[in-house]
Amino acid sequence: MRCTKRTTLVLLCLSQLSSSFTVPVITSRRAVTTPLNVATDPTTNESDTTSASETSSNSSGDKWWQSHTLSHSELATSVRSDFEILSTVFTDDDDDDDDSTAKALIYLDSAATSQKPKQVLDALRDYYTTSNANVHRGAHALSRRATEQYEAARDTARKFVNARSRNEIVFTSGATEAINLVASTLGRKLKAGDEIVVSVMEHHSNIVPWQIVAKDTGAVVKFVPVNEEGELDREVLEGLICPRTKVVSLQHVSNVMGCVNDVDGITRLVRERAHPDVKILLDACQSCPHMPVDVQSLGVDFLAASGHKMCGPTGIGFLWGREEVLNSLEPFMGGGEMIDEVTTEGSTYAKSPARFEAGTPPIAQAIGMARALEYLMDIGMDKIHDNEKELGAYLYNRLSEVEGVTILGPTDVNKRTAIASFVCDGVHPSDLSTFLDMDGVAIRAGHHCCQPLHKALGYSHSARASLYFYNTKQDVDVFIEKLEETLAFFRNMEV
C-alpha cells in the first residue's frame, strides 16, 4: 500500500517538477564535511579536500557516525519524557492495526515552532481552572490572583534576557507584533531621506513593516547582502551606515542559514557612523530559545522574541526596549490600560509597559511563556547552547555527506546554529518534505518567509531541518537515512 502511494506521488511530482522548480548546480558552495567542532579553512578548495566517501568509513569498514558519540546527549534523554507529543507514532490510514507500518515522529521543525513540555501545559490548565479573570481591573480574589501571575511573568521575562527593569518588557502577540510596534512608533519620527538598514536575510516580518514605514514617510530602506560564505556582507554594511541612518534592524540568527550575526561588531559600527539618534532592533527569535541572551551587553535598543519558539504557547512574545526609549515613543494602539487620563479634550498615556499593552492582554499565554522560560532557565541556557552546538554540527556533517545536497549558509560549523536549510538536485523541497512525512520525519519546506534571501542565493525554496535540545543523535540518523532513501527513490523513478 505504501509503495503505491509513493509511486503515485512521485509521478505527480515529476510531471510538475520542470515547471515548478529548478535547482541550479553551485559546486563552489557545496558543503564539505569537516571534523566536529573544527572550523573550515576558508583557503581550502574542494579539489584539495578528501571526499566524504573516502573519509566516512574507518579501518573496520564502519561509517564514522555509527560509533560517534555526543558528549551532551544526556540532555535530550533527560527531558524527552516532558514532551508527550514526541512519543507520537503514525500508522498508514488503511493499516491502523498493522504495527509494521508504524512510524515514530522525528520532529525537526523547531525553528518554526517548538514543542511544549508538560510543565507549560500544566501552567495553562492551572491558570484557567484556578485563576481565570481579567487583570488590573478587579478587586476580587480571582482578578488579584491573575494579575499577580501575569505581572510575575513579566519579571520572569526580565530575568531571562537580563533586562535592567521590568518596565522594559512589553508583552505582545509575538515577535511580528513586537517589530511592527517598533516600526510604527519609530516611523512617526522619520522623514523623507532618512534611511532604514535591514539585510536580505531577514524574515519578512522584519522587512515588510519597514517598507510600509518608508512608503508612508519617504524614508529609504537599504539592504545588506550576504557574501559568498552565506554571512552578512560586512564591507557593504560599512558602506551603507552613514549619518542618514536612523534605524538598523537585523536578525541575531538567520532562520534559514543558521548563521549568527556579529551583533557586538555591528552595534559598534552603527554607533560610530550612523545618526546620533539611531535606533537598533534585534530580531532574536532564533537566538533567545537556543543561547544565553543578555540585552544589557548587546548594545541594541530593542529586541523582539517569540514565545512559541522557546517552549511557550502560541500568541505570545515580548518586546524588550530601553526604558527611556520606550517612554519617548507614542503608543502603538489606543484603548484601555494604556492611558493615564482621558478627557473629551484629549488623552495622556501611561508609561511603559502599559503604554503599549492596550486592551485585555494575552494573560494565559504570558503565564505559559513564563513557565517555559523558567523551564529553560532550570536546564540552563549555556547547557542548551552547548548541546545544540554539538548536535547541530553533527547534523551538518551528516547532511553534507548526502549525494546531491547543497546546504545553505556558512560551511564552518562553528558559525552555525542547529538549523540546516538545503536543496536537493532534481527534487522540489515540498515533494521531499511530503515523502519524509510518510516516514514520520517532520521538516519544513518553502521560502521560510525569506523570499529576498532565497532569490539572492539562486533558489525559490529550500528544505529545512532544525533541532532543539530535545532532539537526539538518533533523530538525525533516522532523518539522514530516510532522506537518502527518498532521494534514491526519486532517482530510480527518473531512470
pLDDT in tens, 250-260: 999 999 999 99
Q: pTM of this prediction?
A: 0.88
pLDDT in tens, 269-305: 999 999 999 999 999 999 999 999 999 999 999 999 9
More confident residue, 306 or 93: 306
How confident is residue 395, by pLDDT bands cut at 50, 70 and 90?
A: very high
More confident residue, 27 or 375: 375
In this predicted structure, the answer to whether residue 25 has a pLDDT above a threshold of 90 is no
Three-class DSSP category at 214: helix
Q: What is the mean pLDDT of residues 457-466?
A: 96
How confident is residue 429, by pLDDT bands cut at 50, 70 and 90?
A: very high
Q: Where in 126-218 does DSSP place strands (E)?
A: 169-172, 195-199
Q: What is the pLDDT of residue 92?
A: 74
Q: Which residues are catalytic?
A: 449
Q: What is the mean pLDDT of residues 349-366?
A: 96
